[in-house]
Structure 1
Amino acid sequence: MNGKEVFRFACRAVPQSIESALEKAGLSGSSIDWLLLHQANQRIIDAVASRLEVPSERVISNLANYGNTSAASIPLALDEAVRTGKVQPGHIIAAAGFGAGLTWGSAIMRWG
């Protein structure tokens, strides 16, 4: 695995994917209450947040506590954010996963 290429790929593809999902949902980037990314690397999380102009206080990250929990990272981080009261009903969450084979996907959710 070429770490530099994975970093570049994630920092390019993930913001584009989230912007496309927002457009399809009829929302703008300013509508995002929370940014929730695959918890693989804090530098990637920070870079994507910066490119999307999402302030760090609106980024869900538990990477420092648990490390990369692979495919479970988004649901685990979301569960923790809900249990601690960060995520509230009606909040808009922009989520994106990326990984094996340089694949990616995004979803925009309104928390119920």
Structure 2
Amino acid sequence: MKIHITSVFVDDQAKAERFYVDKLGFVKKHDIPLGEDRWLTVVSPEAPEGTELLLEPSSHPAVGPYKSALVADGIPAAQFLVEDVHAEFKRLRELGVEFTQEPAEMGDITTAVLDDTCGNLIQIIQMN
């Protein structure tokens, strides 16, 4: 068994697509119209056949309170592995990405947390 698709709830799929592709550097894998919404997935350009991230519409009534509670408590909705948190932090800051946590050493890892502009906090992590 392996993870094929995981998801984050997003307030606006078009905005999320721009952020995850243009800022974070993911590549669009699937974009299938489903009425007002889309089956929209992105993948890492380093692993195009790897795990897909579904940019899931957050229209279900339970999603708003769930996302708000996570953000209020500073809990990331997802984690992405990077080679160098400090370099990625600098690159993303230059692209206008807002961070809620600057790079921090935590034992064997270094992390930073960013705002995905679609209602989520996302953690980037480096294994030291």
Fold agreement, TM-score > 0.5: no
More strand by share: 2
Give the helix-richer structure, 1 or 2. Answer: 1
**TM-score w.r.t. length of structure 2:** 0.29
Where relative contact order (Cα < 8 A, 6+ residues apart) is larger, the structure is 1
Structure with larger Rg: 2
TM-score computed with the length of structure 1 as normaliser: 0.31
